[in-house]
């Protein structure tokens, strides 16, 4: 009888197990669902701020990882959450959001966006907000530099900590080729010296393009050319020190530079098909197609380019280190009129500028996923093959100076950059943002004209005299003089009324 009971019991046990298995399966499913819901519910109490950052080539997936990590800190520190908005057509997307009254709390205003949005009234004045909630920002950036984003004495943006100066007229050369022909780069001191080197390379390395542009045109490494800035139309020459504003395209320096590039083009140093170039610079250098390229001198640039190209490079700088226009306000962080909370937005910015963890996340992604620490205190790729989509965007972030240093740079990089900014020549209008709203139409036309001509002119594709004549004519017809006059008036007024001197940035 005991045996029978045992059998019956075991049979029931088996059936029971089956049902348990089934119900368990369902229950787990339900559990998962409820946890999901719970998570969703949890997020509700936090204020959600939308932050627009012009990341280029960062995938949504990577960005979400960063966003989540940042939110962990933000929830704790400020009881808010952020949503990072980015787009390949950042400018259009942001303008649509602003015009459409969509929530947008913090925005990086690249290029002319600061001026444009100021004109459209999309920016909040930040003076009192900064005073009340942005103590750390002032501390991190410096009182003086923060003021450089003012328009008509009102603060509309907060600059990021980065290199404001550039080492002008700089060239990055391949060291192995220099060594091959026993050229000491230290002996290259003038454009003539450089020309000789190019001629030698052209003669002996038939398959190689001697010189290409590192960014934009063949002239963008010169102090008086800045494609992405209003400073092009009406400029202080002599490294920004001449108080008289002139049309830089009429100056002897510009014409000489055009002639030099045209000369290089005619001698065959440059790409003949520059317009149709499809490959990015660094991979071409890596492939050995290129001997030299123009660059912007700054601390750490050589080691950065060495690791990017996989070759040993040498930098020859013929010009001086200079802040030739008010580059501090080139890419400021702003609070828009569509914000749901100006106070929280400023608090968030304050956190951004002072929290090294958030800055590392914004600049380099998530540790272990996008980067890893090295033994000597640097950081590097977590996976060399996948690369790091964030690092090329790091300069746009609020405060790089509190982040790690990428492998290949000196650990003192950020101190060096500060020193570089401080010691460079400072233009006389540093800290002044010209209010060009009155001549904005003219400015737009000028920009359009320049963008058409610059590529063919500054790459030496056409005869510079003829081309320049045409461009200048068109510019004159479209109000170049009125822009220059307005700027001069504003400069004079500003100079006479300014309370601060920008001779020293950090003192």
Partner 1 sequence: MNNLTLLKKRLFSIIGGVVILFMVLSVAYSASILKIEKEQEMERYTQTLRVYMQRMEESMDSVENLLITQCTNISDIQKIRKSGKGMDRYLTLFQKEKEFSEEIGKYKFLDGLFLFEKERETYIGVKRDAVKTSEHTAVKKHAMEIISGFEGRENKDSWFFQKIEGFPYLFRVIETKNIYFCAWMKAEYLVNDLVEAEGNEDTLIALGDKKGEIMNCSESVEATIKNQKQIRIHEKKYSIINVFSDKRNLSLHLFQRDRSVFIVFKRLILPLSLIVIMGVTIYLLVILFTKEVFLNPLDKLLFEKERAKNKAELQFLQLQTNPHFLNNCLSLIRNLVFLDRKEEAQEAVISLGKYTRSSLNPHTEITVKGEIKHIETYYQLLKLRFHDRIEMKVTVDSQAEFLKIPTMLIQTFVENSVKHQLSSEDTLRISVHVFIEKEYLIVQIEDNGEGFAETLRSRLKEGKPIVDEDGNIHVGIANIVQRMHILYGENAKILFENKEVHGACVTIFIPILCDVKKLPEKEKEDEK
Q: What's the first-to-final CA gap in the chain, in angstroms?
A: 98
Q: Which of these ranges, 63-71, 113-121, 183-191, 466-474, lies near partner 1 under the rule CB under 8 A?
A: 466-474
Instruction: Please state, in angstroms and rounded to a whole number, the distance separating the CA atoms of residues 214 and 220.
Output: 8
- Asked whether position 110 contacts partner 1 by CB under 8 A, the answer is no
Indicate which single residue of 54, 134, 300, 467 sits in contact with partner 1 (rule: CB under 8 A): 467
Shortest Å distance, C-beta 439 to partner 1: 24
User: Containing H/E element for 307?
Assistant: helix 301-309
Shortest Å distance, C-beta 455 to partner 1: 5
Indicate which single residue of 18, 29, 493, 506 sits in contact with partner 1 (rule: CB under 8 A): 18
Indicate which single residue of 93, 462, 482, 485 sits in contact with partner 1 (rule: CB under 8 A): 462
Instruction: Give the SS3 label for residue 236.
Output: strand
Shortest Å distance, C-beta 320 to partner 1: 32
- Asked whether position 88 contacts partner 1 by CB under 8 A, the answer is yes
Cα 178 to chain centroid, rounded: 31
- Asked whether position 8 contacts partner 1 by CB under 8 A, the answer is yes
Instruction: Please state, in angstroms and rounded to a whole number, the distance separating the CA atoms of residues 47 and 50.
Output: 10
In contact, 65 and 87? CB cutoff 8 Å: no
Residues 6+ positions from 404 with CB-CB distance below 8 Å: 360, 364, 371, 373, 377, 378, 379
- Asked whether position 7 contacts partner 1 by CB under 8 A, the answer is yes
Region 257-286 residues binding partner 1, contact defined as CB under 8 A: 273, 275-276, 278-280, 283
Size of the residue set binding partner 1 (CB under 8 A): 26
Sheet holding 371-373, edge to edge: 371-373, 378-381, 405-406
| HSE-up (13 A, CA, CB side) for residue 99 | 7
Shortest Å distance, C-beta 7 to partner 1: 6
Shortest Å distance, C-beta 278 to partner 1: 4
Indicate which single residue of 91, 470, 472, 474 sits in contact with partner 1 (rule: CB under 8 A): 470
One-character DSSP codes across 357-395: HHHHHHHH-SBTTTEEE-TTSEEEESSTTT--SSGGGGG
Instruction: Please state, in angstroms and rounded to a whole number, the distance separating the CA atoms of residues 428 and 430.
Output: 6
- Asked whether position 466 contacts partner 1 by CB under 8 A, the answer is yes
Residues 6+ positions from 370 with CB-CB distance below 8 Å: 62, 364, 382, 388, 389, 390
Query: CB count, 10 Å around CB of 21?
Result: 9
- Asked whether position 26 contacts partner 1 by CB under 8 A, the answer is no
Q: Which of 86, 87, 89, 149 is nearest to 114 (CA)?
A: 149
Shortest Å distance, C-beta 259 to partner 1: 16
Tell me whether residue 341 or residue 392 sits nearer to partner 1 (CB atom): 392
One-character DSSP codes across 106-170: EEE--TTHHHHHHHTT-B---HHHHHHH-HHHHHHH-HHHHHTTEETTEE--B--BS---EEEEE
Shortest Å distance, C-beta 115 to partner 1: 23
Shortest Å distance, C-beta 287 to partner 1: 11
Tell me whether residue 199 or residue 275 sits nearer to partner 1 (CB atom): 275
Shortest Å distance, C-beta 273 to partner 1: 7
Tell me whether residue 18 or residue 29 sits nearer to partner 1 (CB atom): 18
Q: Which of these ranges, 3-11, 144-152, 316-324, 480-488, lies near partner 1 under the rule CB under 8 A?
A: 3-11
For partner 1, the binding residues (CB under 8 A) are 4, 7-8, 11, 14-15, 18, 88-89, 273, 275-276, 278-280, 283, 452-453, 455-456, 461-463, 466-467, 470
């Amino acid at each position: 009888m005991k045996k029978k009971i045992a059998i019956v019991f075991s049979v029931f046990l088996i059936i029971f197990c089956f049902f348990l298995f089934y119900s368990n399966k369902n229950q787990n499913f339900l559990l998962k669902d409820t946890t999901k819901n719970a998570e969703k519910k949890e997020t509700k109490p936090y204020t959600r701020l939308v932050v627009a950052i012009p990341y280029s080539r960062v995938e949504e997936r990577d960005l979400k990882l960063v966003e989540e990590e940042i939110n962990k800190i933000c929830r704790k520190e400020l009881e808010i959450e952020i949503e990072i908005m980015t787009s390949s057509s950042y400018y259009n997307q942001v303008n649509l959001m602003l015009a459409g009254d969509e929530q947008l709390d913090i925005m990086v205003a690249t290029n002319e966006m600061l001026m444009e949005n100021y004109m459209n009234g999309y920016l909040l004045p930040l003076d009192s907000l900064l005073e009340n909630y942005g103590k750390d920002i002032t501390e991190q950036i410096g009182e003086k530099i923060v003021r450089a984003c003012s328009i008509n004495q009102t603060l509309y943006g907060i600059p990021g900590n980065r290199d404001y100066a550039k080492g002008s007229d700089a060239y990055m050369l391949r060291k192995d080729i220099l060594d091959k022909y026993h050229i000491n780069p230290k002996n290259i001191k003038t454009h003539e010296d450089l020309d000789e080197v190019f001629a030698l390379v052209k003669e002996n390395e038939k398959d190689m393009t001697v010189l290409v542009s590192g960014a934009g045109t063949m002239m963008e490494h010169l102090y008086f050319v800045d494609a992405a800035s209003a400073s092009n139309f009406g400029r202080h020459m002599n490294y920004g020190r001449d108080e008289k504003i002139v049309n830089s395209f009429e100056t002897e320096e510009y014409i000489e530079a055009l002639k030099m590039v045209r000369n290089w083009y005619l001698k065959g140093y440059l790409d003949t098909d520059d317009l149709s170039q499809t490959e990015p610079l660094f991979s071409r250098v890596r492939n050995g197609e290129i001997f030299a390229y123009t660059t912007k001198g700054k601390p750490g640039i050589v080691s950065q380019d060495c690791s990017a190209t996989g070759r040993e490079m040498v930098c020859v700088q013929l010009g001086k280190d200079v802040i030739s226009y008010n580059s501090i306000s080139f890419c400021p962080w702003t609070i828009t009129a569509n914000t749901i909370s100006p106070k929280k937005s400023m608090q968030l910015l304050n956190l951004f500028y002072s929290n090294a963890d958030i800055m590392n996340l914004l600049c380099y992604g998530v540790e272990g996923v996008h980067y890893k620490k090295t033994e000597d205190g640097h950081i590097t790729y977590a996976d060399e093959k996948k690369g790091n989509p964030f690092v090329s965007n790091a300069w746009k972030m609020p405060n790089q100076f509190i982040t790690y240093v990428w492998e290949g740079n000196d650990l003192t990089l950020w101190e060096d950059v500060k020193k570089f900014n401080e010691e460079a020549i400072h233009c006389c209008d540093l800290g002044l943002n010209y209010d060009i709203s009155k001549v904005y139409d003219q400015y737009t036309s000028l920009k359009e004209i320049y963008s058409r001509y610059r590529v063919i002119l500054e790459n030496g594709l056409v005869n510079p005299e003829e081309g320049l004549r045409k461009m200048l004519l068109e510019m004159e017809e479209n109000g170049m003089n009125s822009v220059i006059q307005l700027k001069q008036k504003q400069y004079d007024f500003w100079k006479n009324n300014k309370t601060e001197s920008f001779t020293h940035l950090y003192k």
